Amino acid sequence: MAREARVETPVTEQVEVDGKLYTFRIEKDGKWFVGFCDEVPWCASQGKTLEELRFMVADAIHECLLSLEQDQDAAETPS
């Protein structure tokens, strides 16, 4: 198993989700890497490796945006 490169955190990176770039901050919490998205403040995820974190953050952003879109659609639908 490859060893994860040592990362001095916090650090920021970008990830593309649905054709748009999002910035996320990486922090280290014990053995976990934790990512917080700047553009979607309630969106965070974690991974055991940086590669896993990048995938998980992209997925979390996608799901948060989908949820927000569904909430907006529901609010616009007359009862």
pLDDT in tens, 52-62: 999 999 999 99
pTM beyond 0.85: the answer is no
Q: Count of domains in the chain?
A: 1
pLDDT at 41 over 90: no
In this structure, is residue 79 part of a structural domain? no
In this structure, is residue 5 part of a structural domain? no
In this structure, is residue 64 part of a structural domain? yes
Structural domain including 39 reads 11-74
**Token duo for residue 15:** 């990830």
Region 6-13 average pLDDT:
79
In this structure, is residue 3 part of a structural domain? no
Q: To the nearest whole percent, how much of the chain has pLDDT over 70?
A: 82
> Which residues, at least 6 apart from 57, have a Cβ–Cβ distance to it below 8 Å?
15, 24, 35, 37, 43, 45
pLDDT at 69 over 90: no
